[in-house]
Amino acid sequence: MRNLIGIVLIGTSAALLGTAALSQTGDHAVERDLKIMDQWLAGKQPGEPVSCIPQRQIRSTYYVGGQTILYKISNNLVYRNDPPGGCPGLNSNLALETHTPTGMLCSGDIAQVRDYTAGYSPGGCALGQFVPYRTAK
116-135 residue pLDDT tens: 888 888 888 999 999 999 99
Confidence (pTM): 0.77
Q: What percent of the chain has pLDDT over 90?
A: 49
> Starting from the edge strand earliest in sequence, which strands make up the sheet with 6-10, in order?
6-10, 95-100, 110-115, 120-126
In terms of Cα–Cα distance, which of 76, 103, 137, 88 is closest to 10? 103
Q: What is the pLDDT of residue 26?
A: 58
Answer yes or no: are the C-beta atoms of 122 and 88 closer than 8 Å.
Answer: yes
Q: Could you report the per-residue pLDDT of 60-83, keeping only the tens digit for each?
A: 999 888 889 999 999 999 999 999
